[in-house]
């Protein structure tokens, strides 16, 4: 089995234009040897799902600061499900603790705030990628 | 040789946030020549001789959320508590030209500001607030032409003539491409609309600032010298755009205003404002031949807070914004927004908003800072730091020029990438402990800051704002004169295809109760949409 680099899509959905966090996390992931695709600002949720499937990414990271996280995550999870994709979604930004359980119920794998250390995010993304890749590869591999 | 290398590589050598070296003490040899008194060219020490004795800074707290009524109530509360100017926060759909019932606005209506769809909303926000006696700043950019027309019309309904309204529309599109991201149209038509507003205000609204050239580069990651350099570079780009429109420099330059971020690096911030005034005055005089003193005076509003605030242990933010507010008062700015302790992660509550207002009042009334112009002037340290800041900013301005100028730097993504690199370096410095952030990485051993975030009660946002707004839009569309709206929007599209100033057709559409979304869509069909870079 050939070693493949972990691939991550950093998505900046919704209307907010502050992408400092998205860019800083993307740079940290890249420095850690992870391949990063960036959606650019105001990415359409269905386009994020589509790109994630097409680019065969292991993890989707969303950056949301505007308070629209519940609506956006709900839509993304639905879009992924429609495509039969099981790619884990990680959320970063300004996310009130009161919304964490609802987000987890939606299927968001991890939620990070402004003070989360970059190494924590990088390690979590690696773990999620590994856990995601194993069953998917086994399923899709030659029998 | 050995010593020189140590000087370069020793990470512990104290430096300011912009990397300016700090000496253990300063003396007369560190100061080139003392700057002339306040109120005289190049205005290093302030734009007025008697500064705040003659004209106190405006206490202008950024506010707005949910529905027009909720925002009006917060405005009235702040005015009752002694605020002296209004600052309107608009939600993202309004900033991006989407109506509240647009599917693209789902989840965003009334969240980071108030939702405005039509003139009707602006009339309700300012209901009972006399617009001839209070000035209003609006953080609005791509849709600034529309919001300005609505504000003017709402004032007229109160019986206040256009020449009597005062305030500011931010209307700085360059920093939207560079740092803040709330663009709609491509760069060229965006600049055209910005200059339309400047031209219109010069001709018709003598007390209104048509632009606030803003430093959001800082909050996106730029250091203080980069912040000042990029903001001044944008200012110069607007000067060139206005000259290209055929406006005379001494007609429009007095109407340009600025907006800066301020963090806790106290002395460097004071030096930044002093250097900013000197750089602007000398550049306008030398490069553009401006003669009127008003053209040469850099007027600045500022925010104390932004990225300097933390979610962990949020009450610490009161100490931070107090230092920042004191810094801008020493720095001689004209208008101040002091952020609330919860503003890094929530819409302020009445308590946090009032506390932020009190910080300003304490600085203004309980200290001596408002009685003496440029109180730190003549300090060996502050004068030396002002000179060092000016030199560093001139060097960065040279880099921007070499890379093709501000507009070209935005087009190629040079500027965005440079800011992202600075942001990344800062984040690494915080995580390594090299840059202390109290309550986050200092004192050592605090543990995960993410677990210490929610010590204060958060403002609850009404869940029904989007529904209320959608219902309001249905009613509005039913009762307004449909054909008149259509005619106004068609005219706007026609004139956009030509080259004339678009403020007049936008005013006509606004008066017909065309919505922000409809007016924007008419322009979008002519101008298209900006495509953001996805390169990191």
Rounded-to-10 torsion of CA B201, B207, B210, B212: 170
Q: Which chain B residues contact residue A30 at CB under 8 A?
A: 536
pLDDT above 50 (res B265): yes
C-alpha distances out from residue B190 to B118, B171, B304, B316, B514, Å: 21, 10, 28, 39, 21
Within-domain flag for B28: no
Query: pLDDT by residue (tens digit) across B158-178?
Result: 999 999 999 999 999 999 999
Q: Are residues B507 and B384 part of one domain?
A: no
Indicate the average pLDDT of chain A: 90
Q: How far apart are CA B479 and CA A66, in angstroms?
A: 33
Q: Are B79 and B135 in contact (CB under 8 A)?
A: no
Q: Which chain A residues contact residue B104 at CB under 8 A?
A: 15
CATH at residue B167: 3.20.20.240
Cβ–Cβ gap B431/A97 under 8 Å:
no
Q: Are B298 and B47 in contact (CB under 8 A)?
A: yes
Q: If contacts are CB pairs under 8 Å, which of residues 302-341 in chain B contact chain A?
A: 307, 310-312
Cβ–Cβ gap A41/B92 under 8 Å:
no
Q: Are A36 and A10 in contact (CB under 8 A)?
A: yes
pLDDT above 60 (res A1): no
Closest chain B residue to the Cα of A111, Cα to Cα: B450
Contact residues for B477 (Cβ-Cβ < 8 A; gap 6+) = none
Cβ–Cβ gap B450/A15 under 8 Å:
no
Within-domain flag for B102: yes
Cβ–Cβ gap A41/B454 under 8 Å:
no
Interface test with A, best of B93, B98, B102, B107 (most A CBs within 10 A): B107
Closest chain A residue to the Cα of B112, Cα to Cα: A66
Pick from B177, B178, B86, B95: which is nearest to B129 by CA? B86
pLDDT above 90 (res B455): no
- Domain tally, chain B: 2
Query: pLDDT by residue (tens digit) across B484-535?
Result: 999 999 999 999 999 999 999 999 999 999 999 999 999 999 999 999 877 8
At B339, the pLDDT band (50, 70, 90 cuts) reads: very high
Query: pLDDT by residue (tens digit) across B49-83?
Result: 999 999 999 999 999 999 999 999 999 999 999 99
Burial of B111 (0-12, 13-18, 19+ CB in 10 A): buried
Q: Are residues B254 and B202 part of one domain?
A: yes
Long-range contact pairs involving A28-33 (C-beta distance under 8 Å, separation at least 24): A28/A118, A28/A119, A28/A121, A28/A122, A28/B424, A28/B427, A29/A121, A29/A122, A29/A125, A30/B536, A32/A122, A32/A126, A33/A5, A33/A6
pLDDT above 60 (res B466): yes
Q: How far apart are CA B15 and CA B87, in angstroms?
A: 35
Instruction: Please give the domain boundaries of chain A with CATH numbers for all domains.
Output: 7-140 (3.40.50.280)
Predicted pLDDT of residue A135: 54
pLDDT above 50 (res B323): yes
Q: How far is B160 from chain A (nearest CA, A)?
A: 34
Q: Are residues B487 and B405 part of one domain?
A: no
On whether any CB of chain A is under 8 Å from the CB of B530, the answer is no
The continuous run of DSSP H or E covering A60 comes out as strand A59-64
Q: Which chain B residues contact residue A16 at CB under 8 A?
A: 92, 112, 181
Burial of B210 (0-12, 13-18, 19+ CB in 10 A): buried
| Phi (first) and psi of residue B289, to 5 degrees | 65, 25
On whether any CB of chain A is under 8 Å from the CB of B442, the answer is no
Within-domain flag for B397: yes
Contact residues for A111 (Cβ-Cβ < 8 A; gap 6+) = A90, A91, A92, A95, A100, A103, A104
Q: Are residues B182 and B97 part of one domain?
A: yes
pLDDT above 90 (res B16): yes
Domain that holds residue B499: 481-527
Within-domain flag for B536: no
Q: How far apart are CA B522 and CA A98, in angstroms?
A: 40
User: Is the pLDDT higher at A96 or at B172?
Assistant: B172
Q: Are residues B501 and B444 part of one domain?
A: no
Q: How far apart are CA B497 and CA B515, in angstroms?
A: 20
Q: What three-state secondary structure class fits B392?
A: helix
Q: Which chain A residues contact residue B112 at CB under 8 A?
A: 16, 66-67
A 10 A CB-CB count for B365 gives 11
């Amino acid at each position: 089995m050939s070693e493949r680099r972990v691939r991550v899509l950093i998505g900046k959905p919704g209307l907010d234009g502050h992408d400092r966090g998205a860019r800083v996390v993307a740079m940290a992931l890249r420095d850690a040897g992870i391949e990063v695709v960036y959606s650019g600002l105001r990415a359409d949720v269905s386009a994020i799902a589509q790109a994630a499937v097409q680019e065969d990414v292991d993890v989707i990271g969303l950056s949301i600061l505007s308070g629209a996280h519940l609506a956006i995550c709900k839509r993304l999870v639905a879009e992924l499900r429609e495509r039969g994709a099981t790619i884990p979604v990680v959320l970063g930004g300004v996310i009130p603790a009161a919304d964490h359980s609802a987000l987890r119920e939606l299927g968001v794998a991890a939620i990070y705030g402004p003070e989360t250390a970059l190494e924590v995010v990088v390690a979590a993304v690696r773990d999620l990628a590994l856990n995601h890749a194993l069953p998917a590869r086994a399923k899709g591999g030659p029998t | 040789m050995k010593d020189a290398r140590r000087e370069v590589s020793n990470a512990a050598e104290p430096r300011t946030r912009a990397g300016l070296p700090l000496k253990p003490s300063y003396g007369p040899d560190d100061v080139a020549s003392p700057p002339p008194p306040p109120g005289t060219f190049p205005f290093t020490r302030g734009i007025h001789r008697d500064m705040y004795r003659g004209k106190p800074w405006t206490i202008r707290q950024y506010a707005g959320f949910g529905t027009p009524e909720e925002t009006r109530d917060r405005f009235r509360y702040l005015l009752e508590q002694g605020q002296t100017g209004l600052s309107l926060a608009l939600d993202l759909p309004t900033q991006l030209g989407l109506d509240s019932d647009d599917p693209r606005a789902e989840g965003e209506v009334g969240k980071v500001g108030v939702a405005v769809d039509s003139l009707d909303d602006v009339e309700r926000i300012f209901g009972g607030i006399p617009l001839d006696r209070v000035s209003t700043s609006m953080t609005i950019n791509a849709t600034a032409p529309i919001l300005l027309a609505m504000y003017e019309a709402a004032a007229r309904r109160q019986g206040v003539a256009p020449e009597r309204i005062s305030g500011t529309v931010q209307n700085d599109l360059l920093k939207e491409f560079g740092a803040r991201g709330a663009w709609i149209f491509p760069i060229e038509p965006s600049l055209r609309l910005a200059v339309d507003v400047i031209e219109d205000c010069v001709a018709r609204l003598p007390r209104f600032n048509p632009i606030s050239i803003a430093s959001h580069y800082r909050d996106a990651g730029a250091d203080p010298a980069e912040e000042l350099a990029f903001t001044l570079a944008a200012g110069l780009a607007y000067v060139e755009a206005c000259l290209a429109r055929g406006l005379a420099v001494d007609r429009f330059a007095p109407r340009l205003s600025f907006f800066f971020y301020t963090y806790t690096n106290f002395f460097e911030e004071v030096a930044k404002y002093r250097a900013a005034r000197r750089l602007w005055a000398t550049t306008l005089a030398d490069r553009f031949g401006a003669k009127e003193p008003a053209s040469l005076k850099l007027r600045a509003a500022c925010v104390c807070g932004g990225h300097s605030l933390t979610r962990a242990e949020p009450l610490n933010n009161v100490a931070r914004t107090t230092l920042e507010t004191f810094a801008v008062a020493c720095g001689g700015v004209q208008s101040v927004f002091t952020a609330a302790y919860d503003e890094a992660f929530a819409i302020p509550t009445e308590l946090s908003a009032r506390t932020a207002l009190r910080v300003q009042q304490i600085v203004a009334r309980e200290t001596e800072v408002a009685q003496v112009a440029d109180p730190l002037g003549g300090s060996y340290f502050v004068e030396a730091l002002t000179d060092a800041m000016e030199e560093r900013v001139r060097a960065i301005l040279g880099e921007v020029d070499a890379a093709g100028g501000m507009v070209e730097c935005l087009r190629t993504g040079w500027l965005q990438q440079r800011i992202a690199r600075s942001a990344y370096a800062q984040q690494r410095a915080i995580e390594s402990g090299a840059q202390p952030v109290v309550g986050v990485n200092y004192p050592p051993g605090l543990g995960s800051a993410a677990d210490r975030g929610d010590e204060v009660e958060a403002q609850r946002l009404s869940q029904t704002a989007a529904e209320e707004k959608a219902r309001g839009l249905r009613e509005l569309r039913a009762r307004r004169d449909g054909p008149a709206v259509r005619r106004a929007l068609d005219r706007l599209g026609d004139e956009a295809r030509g080259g004339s100033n678009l403020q007049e057709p936008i005013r006509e559409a606004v008066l017909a109760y065309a919505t922000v979304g409809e007016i924007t869509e008419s322009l979008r069909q002519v101008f298209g949409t900006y495509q953001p870079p996805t390169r990191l």
